[in-house]
Amino acid sequence: MTAVSDPVGEFLELDPVRAALVGVPVQPGVLTDYSPEGWAARLDRLRAASAEPDPALAERVAAESGYAEAGLAAELNLVTSPPILVHEHLAQLARDGDQAALAAGLAAVPRALRGYARTLRAAPRPPARRQAEMVLGAVRSWAGSPEFGPTGPAEAARRAFGEFADVLEREILPTASEQDGVGPDRYRAAARFHLGVDLDARDCYDTLVEELDQLRAATTALAATLGRGTFAETCAALNTDPLWTISGAAELRAWAQQRLDAAAAACDALDLPARSRGLEVHVVAEAGPVRYLPPAADGTRPARVVWPMASAEPVPVWNQTTMLHHEGVPGHHLQLGGVRARPQLAVAGNAEGWAVYAEGLMHQAGALAPEEELGYLTGLRLNVAMALVDLALHNGFPLPDTGQPWSLDGAAAFLAAESAFPVGSLYFTVLRSAAWPAQAITYSWGARQWRSLRASAAAVNAREFHSRLLALGPCGLSVLRSAAHTLASRLRKPRESHTQAGPFG
């Protein structure tokens, strides 16, 4: 087991699956104890660290404790629940090619799932029916999948997945709740966990409704200048325009690498050179979202932007340049690529907020063609719409415009209207928000906090501001805010004309 010296690290020693997934080295093949006793031991460790003097650690201890006490960490859902994390961890071991670690992990699956079954039986509240049904479908599929080979440990894991599916079907589903949301009280704990700051959900909702109206106006006006019809018609036209579509993995990789290299040279508000080297684009033949993968801690693998390409269909890229800025330069790679200390402190409101804020820096630097600018604004519009769906679902707020209560169909239709994506492709996005309360707000709300802090420290040199705050690592937003205010009071320099003044760059 890796030696750690901070309370959150010691907490993660009791949760090796989560630790491995966030990049903390663990004993190969060891799985987390998901029994009631395992959850209690982790919560006890957090409570014992409640007087931690380090502000960043203290904030995480409080947020982690509140999240666990609300029962959110043990919730059955299709995104973060133990069977999902265990399978994801096993798949990563298989991709890494460490057969001994994979065999050990597979052999540990029966105990891990039996422990979690005990937790579900003892839970104070039933899971949401939709989430339980989706987990059941996934686990059933793994019980019959040959993905981990014909070995004895793999067969034992498949039997364990099948047994757990039986528990879900016979014991858990009959008592499942028809309610998809977690309610305002538990949502506050989730928001604190994901943001690292207390949230007024009603204020957040009202603020984002206003921002959505601004983004609607901005995207409509920009689409009109492109001369391709309405916003939705313009998006559809760009999706098939040969000038903005790419075919083949090699061409896609070359295009993405060129755009990342251009980003490193375009933004003068960041100190990029030393930390932007070594980022490669890795196109893989699988489905899923584009994602950032930090460099291996031992230096055996460089940082990557992993781009799944599951089919030979042309890929529209007019709305993907800003995604490269988000996942690569100057987004996650600048913030996370050089941070090896305390990787377990990653806070989505800071990390995703920085990445969206960094998209705006590239827009402000004039690095986008008009079509790419529309892609950037459309991404912001979808981020805000997703946050509003999340807030409505879990807090009982109405869906914007209609005033109707949240529903799966209504939420998917709302996202389709704001993004020009087909409604059928957005149901999983909605269900993901149901599974992962407050995560969807981290993009828009986190970016607003970064912009607000930059505006409050406008007298500080932009490079100085960004370098010092990024050097903190991905801490909670309350810690970031305190550091920014301290910086503004100590480093007063002439106001710069290129600091951000508005929500769009």
User: Does residue 167 share a domain with residue 215?
Assistant: no
Tell me if 494 is assigned to some domain. Answer: no
In degrees, rounded to 5, the angle at the alpha carbon of residue 388 between the alpha carbons of residues 319 and 216 is: 50
User: Does residue 159 share a domain with residue 199?
Assistant: no
Give the type of residue at 457.
A
User: Does residue 241 share a domain with residue 168?
Assistant: no
In degrees, rounded to 5, the angle at the alpha carbon of residue 270 between the alpha carbons of residues 267 and 275 is: 105
Tell me if 306 is assigned to some domain. Answer: no
3-class state of residue 49 by DSSP? coil
Q: What is the pLDDT of residue 44?
A: 92
pTM of the model: 0.92
Tell me if 399 is assigned to some domain. Answer: yes
> How far is the C-alpha of 424 from the C-alpha of 410, rounded, in Å?
12
Dig out the tokens for 345 from the structure.
Answer: 């402190």
- Please say which residue of 389, 417, 435 terminates a domain: 435
> How far is the C-alpha of 334 from the C-alpha of 188, rounded, in Å?
30
User: Does residue 141 share a domain with residue 239?
Assistant: no
Tell me if 118 is assigned to some domain. Answer: yes
How many domains are there within the chain?
A: 2
Q: Which domain holds residue 40?
A: 7-179
User: Does residue 111 share a domain with residue 69?
Assistant: yes
User: Does residue 430 share a domain with residue 391?
Assistant: yes
Unique residue bearing structure tokens 């007019």: 318
Tell me if 264 is assigned to some domain. Answer: no
- Please say which residue of 387, 416, 435 terminates a domain: 435
Distances (CA, A) of 291 to 11, 210, 288, 355, 481: 26, 29, 9, 12, 27
3-state helix, strand, coil in the chain (%, to 5): 60, 5, 35
User: Does residue 427 share a domain with residue 400?
Assistant: yes
Q: What is the pLDDT of residue 338?
A: 64
> How far is the C-alpha of 376 from the C-alpha of 238, rounded, in Å?
14
- Number of C-alpha atoms within 13 angstroms, CB side, residue 450? 32
Closest Cα to residue 225, out of 422, 369, 345, 341?
369
Tell me if 479 is assigned to some domain. Answer: no
> How far is the C-alpha of 490 from the C-alpha of 247, rounded, in Å?
51
Q: What is the pLDDT of residue 504?
A: 35
Unique residue bearing structure tokens 């040279």: 265
Each residue's pLDDT expressed in tens, for the chain with a length of 505 residues: 444 446 767 778 899 999 888 777 888 889 999 999 999 999 999 888 877 788 888 898 899 999 999 999 999 999 999 999 999 999 989 988 889 999 999 999 999 999 999 999 999 999 999 999 999 999 999 999 999 999 999 999 999 999 999 999 999 999 999 999 999 999 999 999 999 999 999 999 999 999 999 999 999 999 999 999 999 999 999 999 999 999 999 999 999 999 998 888 887 767 654 555 678 899 988 888 899 987 766 667 788 898 999 888 899 999 999 999 999 999 998 888 765 445 456 799 999 999 999 999 999 999 999 999 999 999 999 999 999 999 999 999 999 998 999 999 999 999 999 998 899 999 999 999 999 999 999 999 999 999 999 999 998 888 889 989 998 887 999 999 999 999 988 765 444 444 443 433 3
